[in-house]
Amino acid sequence: MKYIAEGLGTFFLVAVIVGSGIMAENLSGGNDAIALLGNTIATGAILFVIIKMFAPISGAHFNPIVSFIFFLRKELTYKCLLFYMLIQVISGLFAVLVVHYIFQIDIFQISTHPMRVPNAPWSLFVSEIIATFGLIATILFIRKNDENSIDIDNEFDYIIAKKLLEKNEIKKNNYR
């Protein structure tokens, strides 16, 4: 079950990152800031959802480097690490194929966008390191503090239910 959860989580994460990037590019009208914002919000939202969904089942790694960190922490055996990495790569590639199919985009493409920053390959590498560190920290902190976190959805449901009950009680009193 943990491998299925890891595969689904990786698929959803990559599909949302790629899909929201394509949608943001199409809908932003050339405004790169809006496109980046749209992609970032979608990515952050899906990360929260899939970590909450799959952390109890698979650990919610969704990235081979994250799995390697858990291996170093002795939370994964070498065999599990290899299975996780294989599933993550396959799920990520499958997500890209599916998203390209959905948006009817050629699978194999050559970028026509010029690099917008000097020393781009290194700056992109550094940004990937930072993003991976952010993912690792997010997973570790959510796992550590999850018992203490407020279940916002249930808290919201409670508030709504309470207000509806109070409103219903007022209506009952008006008819007596």
Tell me the domain boundaries of the chain.
2-149
Q: Which residue has the higher pLDDT, 144 or 17?
A: 17
The stretch 103-126 carries a mean pLDDT of: 78
Task: Give me the phi and psi of 7, to 5 degrees please.
Answer: -65, -45
Contacts 24+ apart (CB under 8 A), 63-70: 63/10, 63/88, 63/132, 63/135, 64/88, 64/89, 65/132, 65/136, 66/132, 66/135, 66/136, 66/139, 69/136
Evaluate if residue 93 carries a pLDDT over 90. Answer: yes
Name the pLDDT band for 78 (thresholds 50, 70, 90): very high
Positive or negative: CA dihedral 44, 45, 46, 48: positive
**Structure confidence at residue 14 as a pLDDT band (50, 70, 90):** very high
Range ranked top by mean pLDDT from 131-135, 149-153, 165-169: 131-135
Please report, for residues 60, 67, 127, 136, 158, the alpha-carbon distance to residue 22 in angstroms, rounded to integers and kept in the order given: 25, 28, 20, 25, 37
Q: What pTM was computed for the model?
A: 0.73
Beta carbons of 35 and 25 less than 8 angstroms apart: yes
Architecture of domain 2-149: Up-down Bundle (1.20)
How many degrees, rounded to 5, is the angle at CA 55 between CA 53 and CA 59?
Answer: 145
* pLDDT for the residue numbered 146: 59
